[in-house]
Each structure stands twice: as C-alpha cells, then as structure tokens.
Structure 1
Amino acid sequence: MTVIAPTTVTFFQNSLNEKSKILGAIDWDGKVLIICEQSPFHPVDHIWPDQPADKGEIVINDHCYTLEDCIVVTQSQDDEHFEFGSEITAKRFDEGWNYLVGHLISTDITADHLIGKAAELKVDENYRNALNLGHSACHLSALALNQAMELYWKREVTEDSLGHPDFDKMAISDSKVTEFKSRDEYRIGKSLKRKQGFKAAEALEQLENVQALINQTLESWVATGESITMIADGNKLNDTKRWQCRLNDKQAEIFCGGSHAVSLKDYQAITVKLQLSDDQGTLTMCTTATPA
C-alpha cells in the first residue's frame, strides 16, 4: 500500500455527513478498517481518550455498514507502515507521519476491493449532540472549579485563560466524557501541596462551599447564552484546535481536539457534584448537562 494522504476532518465544525473516497483499507481480525479522504467522524484520541468515538454508518455500493469503532491511525511517510490507536509511537507534531481516521466495519468485501470506492459517512446526530453537550460542560466546569479554588493557593502558579490558578491542568489525572455528562479525577498529592503551594486541607474542609460556588458560576454562565466556537490551525487530525467561549467578559480558551456544543443556549443547566476519596487523595467532579 502506498502512503495515504492525511485525512481531512470536519467533526470540529460539527459536520455530520461527508461523501468521500476510500483511500486505504486494512484487513482487521475478520473486519476491515477503511481510511477515507475526508471524514466527519471523531475518533477516540490515542493520547488523552476522554471523548469516545462517534457512532454512525458508512454507505458503500448502496449498502449501509454500522461503524463499529473509529480510531487514530498513523502512517510513516518513509516505509509506509501503520501504527494504530494506543500503540502509536509518533508524537503529534513529529515530521514524517500522516495522521488518518480509521473506520472499522464488518463486510465480506476484501480490503483491496474497497480502495477507490465512493463512501458516504453519516454520524449519529443524537449521540454526537449528547457528547458535545457533555464535553463543553466538562470544560466549563473545569474553569468554574479553577475559579472556586482560587483562594486556596499560597503562591503564584500557572493560570488558565480567565486568569485563575489552573487547578484543573495541574491536578487532573483522568477525564471521561459521556452523553450529557463528564467525570474528572484530580490527584491531591504532595507535589500539589508542597511544590505548587495548594492549601489542600483547607479546600477539602470547605468542599461543600466550593461545590456551591462552582454551581453558582455555571448558572451565571449558562444564563449569558454566549456562543461556543472551535478554532483550528488546519483541518488535519493533528492540527491544533482550541475551544473558546466568552466568560466573565474574557475569552476563555482550552486546547481540545474533541467536538462541542455551539452555544450556552444549548443548556438548560450545568451542575456538578464533588466527591473526595476515602484517603483524601483523589477529588472527583461529576458534571451533568441538562439540554435546553
């Protein structure tokens, strides 16, 4: 197989349907992983898999195939070999690698006979919208958490785009986006307390107040109905993308390669619940988005 051109992606523009040409196909444990010239599908990220892959269908030769998985694939420009998903060794901006979207389907057609065929790629709109609301709510709650934690720092640290100490960036250990929800885990370890100067004991003692402040902030932000935009340096999978929304009369910005809501008007409410682990080493924030 020759080197395949990088996939043109449109998910960050909230595209749900694209007609494209199949540029590559790989036999995959009795199934086929196809690579198209362009794709509206969001693949699960191989580095930070917070948002799951889109669901949907792919139509080839008037036959509709269910999308069974959607992953990131890289191909070396030198020796043409592929790497898949979590096995990818290339860094996001390494030269000599093409980033591709791999679409897994079950079909009796062999991989070789799929190359060059026309395909229509159709995203499950309801599922995508539910993930969009969950993912943007995740960013909003993280920014509100940073704001609520502002009082609990003894020294200056890295700030977020709104000018608050970036607790989310410094402490997050895991994040998962699901339909209308997200779940973020934060490690409250020695590094955060000693090196960064976070007053953990005081913050954790006042966790109910912190939660109340976050929910008040989210309520005020949702009421503004501000637009949410995705800014991208290009339309390739590994091009830098940024989530933006105007909050507190400032432009909030978070680097993100996912898909998102288009406005705070899409929400009736966003609420969070904070929970501390028994050993007080992990803080979990569960965010729920109620659609408008």
Structure 2
Amino acid sequence: MSLPTVDTTVTYPAGAVESSGTVLHVSDADGARVVLLDTTAVHPVDAGWPDQGADRAVLTTADGTSHEIRDAVVAATDGTDLFLGADVPVKKGTEGWAFTVAHLLPAGAAVREGDSVRIDVDAAYRSALSAGHTACHLASLALNRQLAGAWKKDVLTDAAGNPNFDALAIETSTITEHGSTDVYRLGKSLRRKGFVPDTLLADLPAAEAGINAILADWTATGAEVRIECDGVGLTDMRRWSVDLPGGTVSIPCGGTHAASLKETGGIQVTLTAEEGDGAVTVTMDTICVQPAG
C-alpha cells in the first residue's frame, strides 16, 4: 500500500471544522482501520505533548456512508513503514520522513485508497477545547507574572518577559472543555534554579487572587487571538499570538484556540498544593467563566 511522501495539509489552525480530501493510505492496526488523507480538518493528539486531545469527527465517503473517527493521532512514515503516536521514532520535521494525521476508524470500515471523502468535525466540542487551550495559555502567563519576584537567579523567560515558572516546573498539562488542569512540581531541581517555593506556598489564596486579577485585566480587553502559520503542513511552525495590555505575546503551539479573549467569558484559576515524593505539587485548575456558545 502506498504511503504519503509529504506532510498532511491541515486546515484546523484556521478554524476549519470540515474539509474534503483524498484517501492516500488504508491499513489496520490494534483493531482499528487507519486512514491517511492528503488534507484534513481534524486536530490529532500529539504523543510528544498530548495536552489537547483529538477532535471528535465523522468521515463520509462519496457514496454517503459515514464512519465515526474514534481517534486521531500524529503519525510518521519513512516511505516503507507507518508509525503511530508514541511509536514514532523520530522528531517532527526529520528529513526523509512524512508526518501525517492518522484517522482511526472502526475495524473493517469500508474506505479505500483513492476515495474522495468529507470530514465533519464536532464544532461544539472543538470550540470548547479551543476556549480551554486559550485559557490555559493565559493562565500560565498570569502565573508566571504573579511569581516573577520568587526567583533568586536569572532563568528562562516567557513570551511576556517574565521568569517562566510554567515551563520550568510543569509536570502535566491537560486541556479540557472550557478549561485546563496544570500540575507543577516544586522540588530540589526547581530550587536549585533559584525558585523560592514559600513565595507561592506561604499564601496560596493570595497568589490565586493575584493571578485572577491579572486574568480579569487581560480578558476585559476582548483581544483577538491569532494563529500565525509558517505553512499548511502538519509540522509547519504555528504560533498563538495575542495583544495584551503589556504588549504582544507569541507562543509556539500546535493546538486550536478561541478567536478572541471575549469568547472565554472571563478566566479564573484555583490553586491547590499537595505534599508527596519529596516535593510539593501545585495544581492550577483553569476555567472559562461564561464561554461563548
């Protein structure tokens, strides 16, 4: 069976929730029918940083038969073998490899190479995840700003120029519908980098209130959110950009986003701390207060 030689063209960065494409490859793996297209509107989960899950979507063939897309993952091929998700052995953009969106359909789904198909994404679910992803970025920037005075050494800074606590302490990040959950580890390595944990832990409610005040100031602007793309391929660089009161911020990101901060309806966070494994973990739960739609 033929395998693609170029990256999948993806239309979800521009907000598309439907697309037309041609089936390039069909195979079976782990009880699913794996379908690769030349173009897709489906956002896949990336095993390298699986913060945002896959879209919910349906694939319809030219004869009107529809198949549920049960999952979608980033895949890669060297022209001989196809690797899915966590099994991809190389970094995205590696020369000689094509990176693609693998649509996982029910086993035996009647889809053939060369078929013309239509993709329809669940727009409401996409919108909810997009709002959650935008809220996650804003909350991480507000957290970094709130903790800017908690460092004794110079460290990596974020897109707004503040010490990047989020990047240096993050353990997991999960985008949810209209929100996100981020878990940070305050251990020895972070202290060695110059972070003073008591600045945060001594008065967690005060830090939470400070972050929420920053978020209220930012979201009140209703600023437009832009996804700036270097190209239309799956591995082309994409950046999330927004104009905040202190200036423009731009963050590399492959996910989907709200079109403006107004769509979040306001953003609030809740901070909780827990002892364990020789370190304290702090969880930041982020929600969109009154999201559009």
Same fold (TM over 0.5): yes
Question: CA shift at 1:76, angstroms?
Answer: 0.2
1:73 aligns with 2:75: yes
Where does residue 3 of structure 2 map in the other structure?
Answer: 3
Does structure 1 retain, via aligned residues, the 8 Å contact 2:258–2:264? no
What count of residue pairs does the alignment treat as equivalent?
287
Residue 278 of structure 1: SS of its match in structure 2?
Answer: strand
Deviation of residue 267 (structure 1)? 2.0
Q: Quote the offset at 1:248 in angstroms.
A: 2.5
Residues 27, 110 of structure 1: 8 Å contact kept? no
Q: Which amino acid aligns with 1:158?
A: L
Q: Counterpart of 2:96?
A: 96
Counterparts in 2 of 1:189-204, with a 5 A limit?
189-194=187-192, 196-204=193-201
Aligned match of 1:18: 19
**Cα shift at 1:85:** 0.4
Deviation, structure 1 residue 32: 1.1
Say if 2:67 and 2:109, in contact at 8 Å, map to a contact too: no
Note the alpha carbon deviations across 1:48-94, whole angstroms, 9 max, x for none. Answer: 000010001110120111111111110004xx211110111111131
Q: Confirm or deny: 8 A CA contact 2:3 2:24 kept in the other structure.
A: no
Question: Which residue identity does 2:105 align to in structure 1?
Answer: I
Deviation of residue 143 (structure 1)? 0.1
Give the Cα–Cα distance (whole angstroms) in 2 for the partners of residues 181 and 268 of structure 1. Answer: 12
Report the equivalent of 2:286: 287
Structure 2 partner of 1:37: 38
**What are the residue-to-residue correspondences of 1:146-185 with 2, within 5 Å?**
146-185=144-183
Number of the residue aligned with 2:247: 250
CA distance in 2, matches of 1:16, 1:222: 25
Q: Say if 1:164 and 1:109 are closer, same or farther in 2 by CA, change over 3 A.
A: closer
Shift of 1:109: 4.9
Measured after TM superposition, the shift of residue 31 of structure 1 is 3.2
**Alpha-carbon shift at residue 110 of structure 1 (Å):** 5.6
Change (3 A) 1:189 1:278: closer
Residues in 1 aligned to 2:191 and 2:28: alpha-carbon distance in whole angstroms: 50
Q: Secondary structure at the match of 2:180?
A: strand
Could you tell me which runs of 5 or more consecutive residues in structure 2 were left unpaired when the two chains were aligned. none
CA deviations over 1:252-281 (Å, ceiling 9, x no partner): 111111000010110222100001113452
Answer yes or no: is the 8 Å Cα contact 1:133–1:180 preserved in 2: yes
Q: Distance in 2 between matches of 1:110 and 1:64?
A: 9
Indicate the residue corresponding to 2:260 in structure 1: 263
For 2:183 and 2:203, the matched residues in 1 are separated by: 18
Tell me how large the CA RMSD over aligned residues is. 1.4
1:84 aligned residue? 84
Q: Where do 5+ consecutive residues of structure 1 fail to align? A: none
- Counterparts of 1:102 and 1:160, CA distance in 2: 32
Partners in 2 of 1:150 and 1:30 — Cα distance? 49
Which whole-Å CA distance do the structure 2 matches of 1:26 and 1:121 have between them? 19
Aligned to 1:140: 138
Match of 2:269 among 249, 267, 272: 272
Residue 238 (structure 1) aligns with: 235
CA distance in 2, matches of 1:109, 1:211: 49
1:128 paired residue number: 126
Query: So what's the TM-score if we normalise by structure 2?
Result: 0.94
